[in-house]
Amino acid sequence: MPHTLRSFLESIDNRVLHIHDPVDPVRQVGYLCSESRGPLMFHNLDGFDGWRLTDILIKDRQGQAAALGLDDIKQVCPFLAGQMANGAGGSKMVKDAPVHEVVMTGDDADIRHIPIPIHSKGDAGRYLGSGVTITRDPETGIRNESILRMQLTDDPHRAPFWMAARHNYSHYLKYVAMDKPMPMAFAIGLHPVYEIMANWSGRHDTFDELEYAAGVLGETVELVKCRTIDLEVPAHAEIVIEGMVHPTARMPEGPFGEFTTLGTGAEGPAPVFTVTAITHRKDPIFRHMQATWFTDHQPLITLPMEAAYYNRLKETHGNSNIIDVFVPPWASQFMMIVQMEAKWDGQVGDVLMSALSGPNLHVKTVIAVDEDVDIYNAEDVLWAIACRCNPETDVWVHPGSRLHPLDVSIPQRGDEYTVMRVGGKMAIDATRPPTWRKEERAKLGRVDPMGKGDAAIERLLELVRQPR
Ligand SMILES: [Mn+2]
- 3-state SS of 176-228 is HHHCCCEEEEEEECCCHHHHHHHCCCCCCCCCCHHHHHHHHHCCCEEEEECCC
Measured in Å, residue 204 CA sits from the centre of ligand 1 at 6
Residues of the chain with pLDDT under 50: none
- Every domain of the chain with CATH number 3.40.1670.10 lies at 315-443
What residues does CATH 2.30.110.10 cover in the chain?
5-287
In angstroms, what is the span from residue 144 Cα to ligand 1's centroid? 5
Residue 258 CA to residue 265 CA, distance in Å, equals: 7
User: For 15, phi and psi rounded to 5 degrees?
Assistant: -100, -15
How far, in Å, from the CA of 271 to the mean position of ligand 1? 19
Instruction: Report CA(168)–ligand 1 centroid distance (Å).
Output: 7
363, 354 contact by CB (below 8 A): no
| Cα-to-centroid distance, 207 and ligand 1 (Å) | 9
Find the length of the chain.
468
- Which fold, 315-443? UbiD C-terminal domain-like (3.40.1670)
pLDDT at position 260 is 85
In the reported structure, the alpha carbon of residue 84 is separated from the centroid of ligand 1 by a whole-number distance in angstroms of 14
pTM of structure:
0.91
Write out the residues surrounding ion ligand 1, Cβ under 5 A: 144, 167
User: 64 C-alpha vs ligand 1 centroid, how far in Å?
Assistant: 21
Angle at 385 between CA 401 and CA 359, to 5 degrees: 30
Residue 201: the pLDDT is 87
d(CA 419, CA 300): 22
DSSP output for 303-344: HHHHHHHHHHHHTGGG--EEEEEE--GGGTTSEEEEEEE--S
The alpha carbon of 190 and the centre of ligand 1 are apart by a number of angstroms equal to: 17
Ligand 1 centroid from CA 134, angstroms:
10
Distance between CA 140 and CA 168 in Å, rounded?
13
C-alpha of residue 438 to centroid of ligand 1, in Å: 44
Cα(116) to centroid(ligand 1), Å: 25
pLDDT on residue 277? 98
Q: How far is the CA of 143 from the centre of ligand 1 (A)?
A: 8
Distance 201 CA to ligand 1 centre (A): 6
Asked if the bond preceding 255 is cis, omega within 30° of 0, the reply is yes
Of the chain, the percentage scoring pLDDT greater than 90 comes to 92
Q: How far is the CA of 23 from the centre of ligand 1 (A)?
A: 36
Q: Which helix (H) or strand (E) holds 428?
A: strand 421-429
Confidence at residue 195, expressed as pLDDT on a 0 to 100 scale? 98
Q: Ligand 1 centroid to 358 CA: how many Å?
A: 15
Å from CA of 208 to ligand 1 middle: 7
Averaged pLDDT score across all residues of the chain? 96
CA of 177 to the centre of ligand 1 (A): 20
Cα 164 to ligand 1 centre (Å): 12
CATH code: domain 5-287 is 2.30.110.10
Quote the ligand 1 centre to 305 CA distance (angstroms).
13
Number of Cα atoms under 13 Å in the Cβ half of residue 63: 23
Query: Given this model, what pLDDT does residue 409 score?
Result: 93
Q: What is the pLDDT, as a whole number, of residue 392?
A: 97
